Amino acid sequence: MEADVPTRPGLRRTRNGLDRFGDRLLYGLTAVAALGTFVLIAAIIWKLIEGSWPAIKHFGISFVWTSAWDPVHANFGAFQFILGTLITSFGALLIAAPLSIAIGLFLSELAPPAIRGPIGTLIDMLAAIPSVVIGLWGIYVLSPPIAHTVEPFLHKWFGFIPLFGTPTESSVFTAMLVLTIMMVPITSAVCRELFLAVPRDLEEGALALGATRWEMVRGVTLQYARSGVVGAVILGLGRALGEAIAVTQVIGNYVPLSVNLFAPGDTLASRIANQYQGADTALTLHSLIYLGLVLLVITLITNVIAQRIVHRFNALQRA
């Protein structure tokens, strides 16, 4: 038996021309925008390769392990700057990682709930301060006491270690401190989220078994969030590797790199930033762009590693 479906004579077809056109237009526009992101990334990489091509042709891959920066004799190499980048960033990491984990723990487990909010906000504010202001502060407020008090002190007591050599006005050490200040807010914010996400029943179980607060934090919270914390630290490292402005203001822009942390130095990013007023020769410019390419590769690798760690951590959590 056929059902008598009541029909309404006035019901419009809803998929009229304008709607179909509008749908397709919106889909087209948004898809182009999304594709554009991918194209932009490819374009950045392409333009960097293209811009450094004459230097790549001239020096080849040995640019990466050559130590030189001599515009007069057209001899350029990235090695010292790569070292400088790695030393400043990893040095900052050594200081920033424990600090960030401690702050993350403090804000998630140990602090009285009333002050968690305000202190968290204050640390977020530190993250929002632009690098040029931190650099300005670094030159005139941080550098003098470091160069005139801290470094001579360390040099006097630990000067037998080549790391703590003769202090100078602008130093790699100050750059490390500046990078630490920039890394800590990001890393501690991610750590805080991680520690907050540790399942409550695991923590309470440990406490029920008689663990002290600290034992619970050490045995449950930190263990559970361990790989996530590694991801967070590497994320902060990625930020430090690419930092140009604050570093170039305090590091002294000096090429021969020495073991002495208190001597001036240079990183990939700070060398590029320092030459912004123009390069004398074409090869200098192409070599600068080559430096940028090397920096990009290092940063990309770091960020991809960080992302995979975070990804795996999230997958483990969901399981």
Site for other proteins in 98-157 (CB under 8 A): 98-100, 102-103, 106-107, 110-111, 119, 121-126, 128-137, 139-141
Query: Side-chain half-sphere of 161: how many Cα atoms within 13 Å?
Result: 9
Pairing of strands 75-76, 69-70: antiparallel
Window contacting other proteins (CB under 8 A); options: 65-73, 166-174, 258-266, 285-293 = 285-293
Residue whose CB is less far from other proteins, 202 or 245? 245
Amino acid found at 146: I
Residue whose CB is less far from other proteins, 263 or 273? 273
* Cα–Cα distance for residue pair 83/209, rounded to 1 Å: 49
Nearest to 256 by CA among 65, 84, 71, 64: 84
| Smallest separation, CB 98 to other proteins (Å) | 8
Residue from 3, 38, 57, 201 binding other proteins (CB under 8 A)? 38
> Applying CB under 8 A, does 277 fall inside the site for other proteins?
yes
Amino acid found at 303: N
* Cα–Cα distance for residue pair 143/153, rounded to 1 Å: 14
279, 285 Cβ separation under 8 angstroms: yes
Residue from 37, 73, 113, 315 binding other proteins (CB under 8 A)? 37
> Applying CB under 8 A, does 296 fall inside the site for other proteins?
yes
SS (H, E, C) 268-311: HHHHHHHCCCCCCCHHHHHHHHHHHHHHHHHHHHHHHHHHHHHH
> Applying CB under 8 A, does 23 fall inside the site for other proteins?
yes
> Applying CB under 8 A, does 7 fall inside the site for other proteins?
no
145, 171 Cβ separation under 8 angstroms: no
Amino acid found at 175: A
x-marked contacts with other proteins along 184-213 as a string, rule CB under 8 A: xx--x-------------------------
* Cα–Cα distance for residue pair 235/230, rounded to 1 Å: 9
Residue from 82, 146, 175, 181 binding other proteins (CB under 8 A)? 181
Which pair of tokens denotes residue 105?
């723990």
Window contacting other proteins (CB under 8 A); options: 16-24, 196-204, 215-223, 258-266 = 16-24
Residue from 26, 208, 209, 259 binding other proteins (CB under 8 A)? 26
Which pair of tokens denotes residue 90?
């990893």
Residue whose CB is less far from other proteins, 197 or 296? 296
> Applying CB under 8 A, does 14 fall inside the site for other proteins?
yes
Q: How many chain residues touch other proteins (CB under 8 A)?
A: 82
